[in-house]
Structure 1
Amino acid sequence: MANLELSDISVRFGGLQALTDVSFRVREGDIVGLIGPNGAGKTTVFNVITGVYRTSAGQVRYDGAPLSGMRPHKILAMGVARTFQNIRLFQNMTALENVMVAQHCRTRAGVLGAVLRTRAQKREEARIREKSLAALEFMDLGGFAHELASNMAYGLQRRLEIARALASEPKTILLDEPAAGLNPAESRELMHTIARISSLGINILMVEHDMKVVMGICRHIVVLDHGVMIAEGKPEEIQRDPRVIEAYLGNEHH
């Protein structure tokens, strides 16, 4: 069974048709790239999957269960996490505190337990801290646990966002332009990191403009143009597709 399946998704904002009959799957163990020119509808797809936008038509399913109409925090609890194109960290909190926030969808002690500082609440707090530190270590950020996010370099903040997504214990991660603003060395390290995340059994759907990253790491690619899917396939197929070259890749890929 496909972990994540979009079937004939359409999204309309007033008179603007943002997506039209978009259908694709992110299968178990997949690294899927979602590419296309600016305004193609890529972030709209992410917002539909994560419950930020409602569909005008079509259905999103995750492990066979419908996601359409669910609240974002419920979708996160089901195992679908995301990062954002524009970094959304709590700048006045430490790296560890930023990551610990992601564990709220896994907490059980409740407000009363937090107020009374019950034994169960203390155990849960220790577990959250341990999971969050492990996520930081995985992203090679262990040494920055107590650093304010605002004091961290841009590339480190990008990695911190991914660490926070990992701390929610996802089965699928949506990465929104993770290589944006990174230098070539950081982009290569990002590719290595994405491969390591995939090796944990986590599925990845990635919006990215850096074609070296997309072609180097993705196993399957979906191409949007003006809210319509114009192609999907393996990287080598996408690079040769004349519709994709005309709409997006340009002459350098001829």
Structure 2
Amino acid sequence: MAHLCLSDVSVHFGGLQALTEVNFDLRPGEIVSLIGPNGAGKTTIFNVITGVYRISGGAVSYDGQTISGLRPHHILARGIARTFQNIRLFTAMTALENVMVARHCRSRAGVVGAILRTRRQRTEERDVRDRAMAALSFAGLGEFAHAVAKNLPYGLQRRLEIARALGSDPKTILLDEPAAGLNPSESRELMAMIQRIAASGVNVLLVEHDMSVVMNVSHRVVVLDHGVCICQGTPEEVRSNPAVIEAYLGSEVD
């Protein structure tokens, strides 16, 4: 059974058809990339999966259960985390504090426990800190744990956002253009990190315009154009597909 599955998913906003009967799945430990021209519907799919947008037709299932219609925090609690095109860190907080925030969906002590500083709350707080540090170390940011987020270089802020998503202990992570603005060296470090995430058993859904990243890390690639899936397959199959070439480069005009 597929870990995450989109079945005939359609989304429309009034008269605008954003997605039309999109089908694909994401299996455990797999890296799947969504590619396509601007406006193809890639971020719309992320918003559908994470409960930001309601679908107009079809279904999204996860671990064999329908998650279409659930609210974003319920979807996060089920193990689906994401990043965003534009960095959305708590800029005045430290790197460690940013990742600790992600653990809220796993916390159980509650407000009363926090006020009274119960034993359970103190134990949970230590666990949150330890797991946040582990996520930072995984992202190669351990030495920056106490640095204020806004003072980190851009490339490290990108990695911190991924570390924060990992801090929620996801089984699936959605990365929205994580290589945007990175130099070649930073892109190589990002590719290695994405591969480590998948090797740890977390499946990765990636939206990315940097084709060197897509072709080097993806097990499969799904190509969208105007909200329609026009091709899916291995990077090699997609690279040579005429429909993909036309979507990106246009057809020859006499």
CA distance in 2, matches of 1:248, 1:147: 41
1:91 aligns with 91
CA distance in 2, matches of 1:27, 1:203: 7
Kindly indicate whether residue 42 of structure 2 is the aligned counterpart of residue 42 of structure 1: yes
> What SS class does the counterpart of residue 174 from structure 2 fall into?
strand
Structure 2: gaps of 5 or more residues: none
2:25 aligns with 25
Note closer, same or farther for the CA distance 1:11–1:36 as it changes in structure 2 (3 Å cut): same
1:154 aligns with 154
Report how many residues are paired. 251
> What SS class does the counterpart of residue 61 from structure 1 fall into?
strand
Structure 1: gaps of 5 or more residues: none
CA distance in 1, matches of 2:91, 2:142: 18
Q: Percent identity?
A: 69
Q: Are 2:29 and 2:200, in contact at CA under 8 Å, matched by a contact in 1?
A: no
CA-to-partner distance for each residue in 1:146-205, whole Å, 9 max, x for gaps? Answer: 111110000000000000011100000000001000000100111111111111000000
Kindly indicate whether residue 94 of structure 2 is the aligned counterpart of residue 77 of structure 1: no
Kindly indicate whether residue 147 of structure 2 is the aligned counterpart of residue 136 of structure 1: no
Compute the displacement of 1:14 (Å): 1.0
CA distance in 2, matches of 1:76, 1:221: 24
2:165 aligns with 165
CA distance in 1, matches of 2:88, 2:249: 29
Compute the displacement of 1:249 (Å): 6.0
CA distance in 2, matches of 1:184, 1:59: 38
1:247 aligns with 247
Pairing of 1:173-184 with structure 2 (within 5 A): 173-184=173-184
CA distance in 2, matches of 1:64, 1:154: 38
> What SS class does the counterpart of residue 81 from structure 1 fall into?
strand
> What SS class does the counterpart of residue 29 from structure 1 fall into?
coil
> What SS class does the counterpart of residue 25 from structure 1 fall into?
strand
Tell me which amino acid in the other structure corresponds to 1:101: V
1:110 aligns with 110
Q: Please, what TM-score do these two structures have when normalized by structure 2?
A: 0.97
Q: Please, what TM-score do these two structures have when normalized by structure 1?
A: 0.97
> What SS class does the counterpart of residue 12 from structure 1 fall into?
strand
CA distance in 2, matches of 1:211, 1:196: 19
2:196 aligns with 196
1:101 aligns with 101
CA distance in 1, matches of 2:4, 2:190: 23
CA distance in 2, matches of 1:232, 1:138: 31
CA distance in 1, matches of 2:72, 2:13: 19
Tell me which amino acid in the other structure corresponds to 1:159: R
Tell me which amino acid in the other structure corresponds to 2:156: L
CA distance in 2, matches of 1:205, 1:8: 18
1:127 aligns with 127
Compute the displacement of 1:250 (Å): 7.2
1:60 aligns with 60
> What SS class does the counterpart of residue 10 from structure 1 fall into?
strand
